[in-house]
Amino acid sequence: MFTKTKVAALGAVAAIALTACSSDDGGDTADVAASDFPEGSTMAALAEAGSITIGTKFDQPLFGLVGPDGVPVGFDVNIGTIIAGELGIAPEDITWTETVSANREPFIEGGQVDIVVATYTINDDRKEKVSFAGPYYNAGQSLMVLADNTDITGPDDLAGMNVCSVEGSTPAANIMENYPDANLELFGAYTDCLEPLRNGQVDVVTTDNVILAGYVDDSDGEFAIAGEPFTEEPYGIGLAREDDEFRDWINDVLEEIFEDGRWLEAWNADGSAGTVLPEPEVPSVDRYEN
């Protein structure tokens, strides 16, 4: 059942790529050549190599959730697949590397990944180390509790509560800075917080609303979202800090797919965010100065 969903999702992404190319310039993915890009650019190098390594989450339903065959499914995965397609790289030539929250900047800086598409909030601290194309989606920090917990309705209720989040994430940083009376427990990935929530070891899990929505959806009524989102988390595509040419090109691709419907198709594909979440507003790309 799980495998079938994934195969269907991959089919949907392949269909997106095909639609895009036929409506675009009449060519198909295989027609993209390194010579279509400026000499010496990252785009030319990736197109020439015919492969790309993309960092994404492996344990976040709707955005990046890996199955037994090692191929992740979700909105981030679909966005990464579209970018690869624009470089002439087929889905099967993408290497998906798991990036947890804390290793995204190091993996980009160390060259272990070419790009990161991983519920990755664009912010000033991170911009010192990496560069961001996007945003391609705007999320917000929220809280998840056991469904029968009515005591917690927002971040002001967190004093004295055991709160679970993830090292290197913006929600964890926000709790440390603005809600210091919460007892924050940090793990490596958000799924590490689920059993502690179930067995009462923690009272709350906090991260972006859309990540929590995936866990609530999978929980059979056990978990619920408490209150409304209380931060802005614009999701960007992380890449090497100095590579403005690559960033501009990814921003161009994003603007194109916002416009031609591929972004929304990626949202609504099998296993992706639109199966649970409402249709988002189209974001505006932020071509910030370094």
Task: Name the residues that contact ligand GLU, by CB under 6 A.
Answer: 101, 118-121, 166, 169-171, 207-208, 211, 233
Written as six digits, the tokens of 190 are 């958000």
Our CB check for ligand GLU shows the closer of 97 and 169 to be: 169
Our CB check for ligand GLU shows the closer of 37 and 96 to be: 96
Our CB check for ligand GLU shows the closer of 86 and 233 to be: 233
Minimal distance, residue 170 CB to ligand GLU, in Å: 4
CA 114, distance to chain mean position in Å, is 15
Minimal distance, residue 234 CB to ligand GLU, in Å: 9
Minimal distance, residue 120 CB to ligand GLU, in Å: 5
Complete edge-to-edge strand list for the sheet that includes strand 52-56: 94-98, 52-56, 115-116, 233-240, 130-139
How many other CB atoms are found less than 10 A from the CB of residue 253?
24
Minimal distance, residue 27 CB to ligand GLU, in Å: 35
Minimal distance, residue 160 CB to ligand GLU, in Å: 24
Task: Please state whether the peptide bond connecting residue 278 to the residue before it is cis, i.e. omega within 30 degrees of 0.
Answer: no
Strand 162-166 relative to strand 183-187, pairing? parallel
Question: Which is nearest to 249 in space by CA: 240, 111, 233?
Answer: 240
CA distance 230 to 227: 9
Our CB check for ligand GLU shows the closer of 85 and 214 to be: 214
| Cβ partners under 8 Å of residue 36, min gap 6 | 47
Written as six digits, the tokens of 171 are 């929600």
Our CB check for ligand GLU shows the closer of 235 and 263 to be: 235
Evaluate whether 141 touches 150 at the Cβ level (below 8 Å). no
Minimal distance, residue 248 CB to ligand GLU, in Å: 22
CA distance 223 to 111: 38
Our CB check for ligand GLU shows the closer of 42 and 101 to be: 101
Cross-strand pairs, 237: 133
